Chains A and B, each alone.
Chain A
Amino acid sequence: MTVPTEHLLILAGILFTIGVAGFFLRRNLIVVLMSIELMLNAANVTFIAGSRQHSTAGDLNLDGPIFAIFVIAVAAVEAAVGLALVIALFRRRQLVMLDQVNELSG
């Protein structure tokens, strides 16, 4: 496809902002974790756009896909730890709403 880099970056920006909106506005902890996944995906789209922009036929730029693979690995780790915390919290307090978890607030 011959889509210009700008349009990939705009897509990534919109996806990231939707993720930020979910992160700040939703109360359900699981949906907040999903919003983080959305933001990481937007970052991956940006890496792809950059890698595509900087490649020439003789000299391929592989930094984008490699960083995207690392981001996916970190996203998997983050989802696993986050969901383990959700389960631990639910086992202890029977809740998943973020603003009800206020033991540490002064």
Chain B
Amino acid sequence: MANALFYILSVGAILAAAGVIASRNPVMSVLSLLGSFFCIAVIYLLAGFQFLAAIQILVYAGAIMVLFLFVVMLLNLGDPEGEAAREPMFHHGRRAFLAMGTSVAILVAGLVAVLNTSFPAIDPAVAETGNDPVGQLAIAMFGRYSLPFEAASVLLLATTVGIMVLAKRQRTPRTQGERA
């Protein structure tokens, strides 16, 4: 039952991810990405990572996607009659397709490698209940991983300052060369 649900959700996540890059309207892209994140969150839940599933929904679906949607709406990019709707969606240079072909080749190589590796069977107790006890996670986060935790907080602080600098309106009058 859970296994069947995993395969259904995998197909859903892949289709939604394809919808992100295939849809012309950025609002539809954001909503497809949201669907993909929800499918992945339920996969985490099935695999037994309940806390991670909650974080995925709260941070990704709650915060990051709202940020994307806000920017799309702010810049009025979802307008199907707008000028952007008539422009081509994709790069059509040879280099773009070269990069794409290379990455698909790497994917195929990775799939061959994965399918040729024999993984030992997962511990049945872990397979059923998962391994995401929040208490142990907190002990590890504030004990063994306290240095990366502090580094993440410094990163967040630096980001906040950086975004305030970026978002601040320029008060100095623009020069002529800047206008052109």
| Interface residue? B81 (CB, 8 A) | no
With contacts A13-B110, A18-B14, A27-B87 taken as known, whether A69 is within 8 angstroms of B30 at the C-beta atoms is no
Contact A96 B84 (CB under 8 A): yes
Interface residues of A in 50-64 (CB under 8 A from B): 51-53, 55-57, 60-62, 64
A20 to B72: give the CA distance in the assembly, Å.
21
Question: Could you tell me the dominant secondary structure of chain A's interface residues?
Answer: helix
Contact B88 A34 (CB under 8 A): no
A81 to B42: give the CA distance in the assembly, Å.
28
Contact A34 B20 (CB under 8 A): yes
A18 to B88: give the CA distance in the assembly, Å.
19
CB neighbours (8 Å) of A96 from chain B are: 75, 77, 84
CB-based nearest B residue for A98: B91
| Interface residue? A74 (CB, 8 A) | yes
A85 to B120: give the CA distance in the assembly, Å.
46
CB-based nearest B residue for A94: B75
Contact A60 B91 (CB under 8 A): no
Residue of A10, A28, A96 with highest tally of chain B CB at under 10 A: A28
A15 to B13: give the CA distance in the assembly, Å.
8
Contact A62 B140 (CB under 8 A): yes
CB neighbours (8 Å) of A37 from chain B are: 33, 60, 64
Q: Which of A4, A14, A24, A38 contacts B96 (CB 8 A)?
A: A24
Closest 7 CB pairs of A and B: A22-B21, A57-B125, A1-B2, A60-B131, A20-B103, A55-B131, A17-B107
Q: List 22 A-B contacts (CB under 8 A).
A: A1-B47, A2-B2, A6-B115, A7-B10, A8-B47, A11-B14, A24-B103, A27-B89, A28-B77, A53-B120, A60-B131, A60-B133, A69-B55, A69-B141, A70-B148, A76-B63, A77-B155, A77-B156, A84-B167, A86-B75, A87-B167, A96-B75
